[in-house]
Amino acid sequence: MSTTTAGAHAHAHGHAEAGVGDFISTYVFSRDHKIIGLQFLFSTLLWFLVGGLLALGIRWQLAWPWSGMPVIGSMLFSGEGGQISPEFYTTLFTMHATVMIFFVIIPILAGAFGNYLIPLMIGADDMAFPTLNMLSYWFMWPAFFLIGSSFFISPGNGAGGGWTSYPTLSAVPEAAPGSGSAQTLWLLGITFVGISSMMGSVNYMTTIIQMRAPGMTMFRLPMTIWSMFITALLQAFALPVLTAAGFMLLLDRIVGTGFFIPEGLVVNNSLPASGGGQPLLWQHLFWFYSHPAVYIMILPAMGMVSDIISCFARKPLYGYKPMVFSIAGIAGLGFIVWGHHMFLSGMNPYLGMTFMTATMLIALPSAVKVFNWLGTVWGGKIQFTTPMLFALSFVSMFIIGGLSGIFMAATPVDIFIHDTYFIVAHFHYVLFAGTAMAVFGAIYFWFPKMFGRMMNETLGKIHFFFTFIFLNGTFYPMHILGAVGFPRRLADPYHYETFRHLMPLNQFMTVCAIGMVSIQVVFAANFLFSIFSGRKVGRNPWGCNSLEWIAPSPPGHGNFDFQPVVYRGPYEYGSPEVDSDYYPQNQPPPEKQPLTQTT
């Protein structure tokens, strides 16, 4: 354990002839988990903006189809008189999902918060493999370039197979004329994201198993760390399948193999050279990764929310072990439910029954988690800080996202709502109203640790209030659209008589979506100004128990200026053993006691 007190800044300036080389090794190709975490945070927040703007493009088309987009339309699509072309619409929703999933949610949870928090919360000076950690960030850049260039390689006509890239649409180039090599670049990009995630997950597992501070038993780990640990396991076991499938699809596209292309197709008046494959194989391989990936996108958020809620309820987390077991349960069941994305795919309908039962059961650990969060809030002394409001909204919104999942888990009901906006509502409630809100909460919560300064509370609450209102205005009506059968991914749903009367509701949703994206300006301003001129704070501004709060804010290279020793779990708020309402993990008990577990 390092005993240096110098911050990353001091470390760099400590050398008399601190030059460009030092700057690069400290801030660019850094091996410090905190710098890497911040690199992930800044990159993913920028991509979050890109993904949000792509979503506005989709919303514009659904509200006012084929009408020129004001101001920016003529710049973006001068050829079509400011209109979104159907080709560009498919690219829009493909890239919105790709950016949000692969460049925002997964890397902001595992890459930004996982990197920043794991060593600090377990009392380690850094990750187990710092160089590997650095590489995991820099392997994102080829992905940024490849997927970014797939957007521009043939203007207005990029990868358009959806983020799921189902063959044969994605496997036979003739099926998407004019998109050139966009789909190929997209697949290569996803492969690099996969390599980056794999490096990260190996590192997280090793660090959490090997580098915990003395006294930090597994059942004294904060929920954030448990969720990151189980997420890393999910990544490590599921990801190779996607990588393999990605290479198979690349070979189908480039070399002419036929893994996913069956015999006898006539695509766009041309005959694919290969054959003998099966398109459903891709769906199985893809969802074998991408269903666990759904939990990779929510479990760390659940962990962080548990920590935030317990801290601001000033009360121990209700049911710590059931919370750990339910995360493990979600992860375990997560491997045997991928088929619920494929109920209507042409997969053997008998399998639908098995997958339905497993899928129903996965609602169980989710319910246990919700009940325990409610139990944590019960009987506390709640402080309505900005991070707490975001964490509470996670619980409130996750209830909606969880309950709507039961509809589509039920196979007969899924026959009707599959591929409709009911599904879109469901996963936006889980991923935006759930995970993204939790991420906002986590940024407000750990910001003082990252930068030594607070974000503005008033601006934070304004940001929360309007985001909460607008997100519900945007996503809640999607349930109603889904009930009418309104399909996803249609450039012009009003082409169908059945859906023509839904346009006014879509316009309302688009107005809310514009409001939701606009209000993020408040967040961006608060975030950037607070880095430089927020109120300075000490080590533990919130009065929290876990180990990251005993390190300096921001922690220097090596994190801790003394060796932390852990005496108890992280949720001892309101403990009768001490006078203060919190009881840090490293504070020795009043009288000398053997190291026993108190939770």
Partner 1 sequence: MGRFWSILFLLVPILGVWVFVSAACNWWPFSGGSLSFPSEHWLPQDISVHGVIIDGLYDFILWLTGIIFIATGIALFWFLLRYDGEQNKDPVQYTHGSHVLEVVWTVLPAVTLLFIAIYQMNAWSDAKIRRPLQSVGPDGRQGTADDVFLPPLLEVTGRQFEWRLRYPGADQEFGTPDDIHLVNDLHVPVDEEIVIAIKSDDVLHSFFLPNVRLKQDVVPGMKQYVWFEATETGTFDIVCAELCGWGHYKMKGRLTVESRKDFERWLRQKYESQETNQLPLELVEK
- Chosen residue from 265, 328, 459, 537 binding partner 1 by CB under 8 A: 265
Q: Which is nearer to partner 1, 46 or 344 (CB)?
A: 344
Distance CA 582, CA 542 (A): 10
By CB under 8 A, the residues from 509 to 538 that bind partner 1 are none
Q: Which is nearer to partner 1, 218 or 374 (CB)?
A: 374
109, two tokens: 């949870």
Provide the minimum distance between the beta carbon of 439 and partner 1 in the complex, in angstroms, as a whole number: 19
Distance CA 401, CA 396 (A): 9
Provide the minimum distance between the beta carbon of 395 and partner 1 in the complex, in angstroms, as a whole number: 7
- Chosen residue from 68, 485, 554, 589 binding partner 1 by CB under 8 A: 485
Q: How many other CB atoms are there within 10 angstroms of residue 341's CB atom? A: 22
Q: Can the peptide bond before residue 4 be classed as cis, meaning omega within 30 degrees of 0?
A: no
Q: How many other CB atoms are there within 10 angstroms of residue 10's CB atom? A: 12
- How many residues of this chain interact with partner 1, rule: CB under 8 A? 120
Provide the minimum distance between the beta carbon of 280 and partner 1 in the complex, in angstroms, as a whole number: 6
405, two tokens: 């999942």
- Chosen residue from 123, 246, 352, 387 binding partner 1 by CB under 8 A: 352
Question: Can you say whether the dihedral through the CA atoms of 553, 558, 561, 566 is positive or negative?
Answer: positive
Should residue 9 be labelled a site residue for partner 1 when binding is judged by CB under 8 A?
Answer: no
Q: Which is nearer to partner 1, 177 or 214 (CB)?
A: 177
By CB under 8 A, the residues from 36 to 65 that bind partner 1 are none
Distance CA 116, CA 120 (A): 7
Should residue 346 be labelled a site residue for partner 1 when binding is judged by CB under 8 A?
Answer: yes
Q: How many other CB atoms are there within 10 angstroms of residue 547's CB atom? A: 28
* Cα pseudo-dihedral 147, 149, 155, 157, rounded to 10: -20
Let me know: does 200 contact 111? Beta carbons within 8 Å: yes
Q: Which is nearer to partner 1, 134 or 395 (CB)?
A: 395
Provide the minimum distance between the beta carbon of 12 and partner 1 in the complex, in angstroms, as a whole number: 41
Q: Can the peptide bond before residue 554 be classed as cis, meaning omega within 30 degrees of 0?
A: yes
Should residue 573 be labelled a site residue for partner 1 when binding is judged by CB under 8 A?
Answer: yes
Provide the minimum distance between the beta carbon of 458 and partner 1 in the complex, in angstroms, as a whole number: 11
- Chosen residue from 504, 588, 590, 594 binding partner 1 by CB under 8 A: 504
Should residue 254 be labelled a site residue for partner 1 when binding is judged by CB under 8 A?
Answer: no
- Chosen residue from 497, 588, 590, 596 binding partner 1 by CB under 8 A: 497
Q: Which is nearer to partner 1, 303 or 493 (CB)?
A: 493
Q: Helix (H, G, I), strand (E, B), or coil: what is residue 420?
A: strand
Should residue 337 be labelled a site residue for partner 1 when binding is judged by CB under 8 A?
Answer: no
Distance CA 585, CA 572 (A): 8
Q: Helix (H, G, I), strand (E, B), or coil: what is residue 545?
A: coil
Should residue 154 be labelled a site residue for partner 1 when binding is judged by CB under 8 A?
Answer: no
Provide the minimum distance between the beta carbon of 524 and partner 1 in the complex, in angstroms, as a whole number: 23
Question: Which residue bears the tokens 């189902």?
Answer: 166
Nearest Cα residue to 313 out of 362, 372, 353: 372
Distance CA 570, CA 294 (A): 27
Should residue 90 be labelled a site residue for partner 1 when binding is judged by CB under 8 A?
Answer: yes
Should residue 455 be labelled a site residue for partner 1 when binding is judged by CB under 8 A?
Answer: no
Provide the minimum distance between the beta carbon of 9 and partner 1 in the complex, in angstroms, as a whole number: 36
Should residue 368 be labelled a site residue for partner 1 when binding is judged by CB under 8 A?
Answer: yes
Provide the minimum distance between the beta carbon of 390 and partner 1 in the complex, in angstroms, as a whole number: 11
Alpha carbon separation from 218 to 319, 447, 570 (Å, rounded): 15, 26, 12
Should residue 4 be labelled a site residue for partner 1 when binding is judged by CB under 8 A?
Answer: no
**Which span (96-104, 117-125, 135-143, 491-499) binds partner 1, by CB under 8 A?**
491-499
- Chosen residue from 136, 168, 290, 467 binding partner 1 by CB under 8 A: 168
Question: Which residue bears the tokens 């991420």?
Answer: 439
Contact code string over 310-329 relative to partner 1, x by CB under 8 A:
---xxxxxxxxxx-------
Should residue 472 be labelled a site residue for partner 1 when binding is judged by CB under 8 A?
Answer: yes
Distance CA 234, CA 136 (A): 17
Q: Which is nearer to partner 1, 68 or 574 (CB)?
A: 574
Contact code string over 574-593 relative to partner 1, x by CB under 8 A:
xxx----x------------
Q: Which is nearer to partner 1, 91 or 559 (CB)?
A: 91
- Helices 349-377 & 299-313 angle (0-180, nearest 10): 20
- Chosen residue from 1, 12, 72, 361 binding partner 1 by CB under 8 A: 361
Nearest Cα residue to 485 out of 401, 404, 423: 423
Let me know: does 362 contact 291? Beta carbons within 8 Å: no
Alpha carbon separation from 414 to 352, 356, 380, 482, 573 (Å, rounded): 11, 10, 40, 11, 44
By CB under 8 A, the residues from 374 to 393 that bind partner 1 are 374-375, 377-384, 389, 392-393
Three-state SS string over 532-546 comes to HHCCECCCCCCCCCC
- Chosen residue from 344, 524, 525, 528 binding partner 1 by CB under 8 A: 344
Distance CA 423, CA 407 (A): 9
Distance CA 181, CA 192 (A): 17
Q: Which is nearer to partner 1, 46 or 413 (CB)?
A: 413
Should residue 333 be labelled a site residue for partner 1 when binding is judged by CB under 8 A?
Answer: no
Q: Can the peptide bond before residue 168 be classed as cis, meaning omega within 30 degrees of 0?
A: yes
Provide the minimum distance between the beta carbon of 397 and partner 1 in the complex, in angstroms, as a whole number: 8
Q: Which is nearer to partner 1, 93 or 103 (CB)?
A: 93
